[in-house]
Amino acid sequence: MLYLPNAFAYIVSLQGLLYAVIKKIKMKFTRTASDQYSSARCGLIVTDHGEIETPIFMPVGTVGSVKGVYHRDLKEDIGAEIILGNTYHLYLRPGLEVLKAAGGLHRFESWDRPILTDSGGFQVFSLSPIRKLTPEGCVFRSHIDGSKHMFTPENNMDTQRIIGADIVMALDECCPGDADYKYAEKSLKLTQSWLERCVRHFDETEPLYGYSQTLFPIIQGCVYRDLRLRAVEHAVSFDREGYAIGGLAVGEPVEKMYEMLEVVCPALPQDRPRYLMGVGTPENILEGIARGVDMFDCVMPTRNGRNGMLFTWDGIINMRNRKWADDFSPIDPEGTSFVDRTYTKAYLRHLFVAGEIFAGQIASEHNLAFYLELVRQARQHIKAGDFMKWKDDTLKRITKRL
């Protein structure tokens, strides 16, 4: 018993030393290739949970799972290097006490590769019919039981510390894509004031589980060039390890989205990754890569898959269509996944018509594998120097309706 105080002091000193090391080890990004005819580039993100080759698509695991897909298949068949979780949903259910007791989201969901969390701002503004924005934060009601909650920049950072993602997002207001200039400017000022508080509180707190975390500011500004550039200048002043681009694909014309990417990406640091939030279709992804985006996420592969829409190398398929009833060819002859090598269009259509859960599982796995293969091939062609020709040829194929 006489040695316990010394042992305790030794443990405390080790914890302090460990955190000192963590503070110095930040997420790293290295550019590995660039396309001479566009802004497309390849890179490598290094986190404490593994490496991520970019451009990358990140499957969405909103509440701690990518719907209908085993982690085994995400790793071995689909090749996911990073997945997402959502702060709003995880905060409400299972809740922070459970997540902290589990040792964070990685341990809770048994995933040992990188995780990124959205701050939940978009969900607060899109799911809650009753909400109030103030300089202090946002008050909202749960979509589950109507209970009242509040996110502030400070408690949102604390929440994402408890969730334990490798990459976390600053709290922001997601401005509607059709907002007028006056509203967009007011919204941006609120997002910027919240960002200042997020950065301050994040830097004053510590990771909880023995590995480092990285905070990305979110660039807002709707479809207004000067607001976007103002947002970039403000965000870059904090010198973070990466930057997210938000408030796109939220109702604005797709041409405006591409225009804003052409404004924002060149203004962001060349040696930091750029994450386009919530986008999107395979076409959006390839056009985003061409404009300098490195990271993408979207629920479309799994959500559309569960509803019978498949993205293939020959075009887009509605699996409920009668024409596939006696088509015994593979789901996608050029597909790389286990389900593409195993099941036929006729079988998958039968499962959808019969209402079998397995249909959505197969379709989700196929679509995710297609998205991951799409960005893998994009990386290959950026390195080979023929990305733009490959992109244009590929878009002609994959955007057709079959």
| Catalytic annotation, residues | 118, 297
- For residue 343 the two structure tokens come to 């099941």
Which contiguous run of DSSP H or E holds residue 167? strand 167-169
Angle, CA 327 vertex, CA 324 and CA 328 arms, to 5°: 140
CB 129 within 8 A of CB 177: no
Interstrand relation of 115-118 and 83-86 (parallel, antiparallel or unpaired): parallel
Which contiguous run of DSSP H or E holds residue 214? strand 214-216
Look at the chain and count its residues: 402
Q: How far apart are CA 324 and CA 350, in angstroms?
A: 9
- For residue 116 the two structure tokens come to 């990124």
CB 117 within 8 A of CB 91: no
Strand ranges (DSSP E) for 66-160? 83-86, 115-118, 131-133, 138-141, 148-151
Cβ count within 10 A of residue 1: 4
Interstrand relation of 148-151 and 167-169 (parallel, antiparallel or unpaired): unpaired
Strand-pairing partners, residue 317, are 310
**Long-range contacts, 180-189 (Cβ 8 Å, 24+):** 181/222, 181/224, 181/227, 184/221, 184/222, 184/223, 184/224, 184/227, 185/224, 185/227, 187/220, 187/222, 188/220, 188/221, 188/222, 188/227, 188/230, 188/231
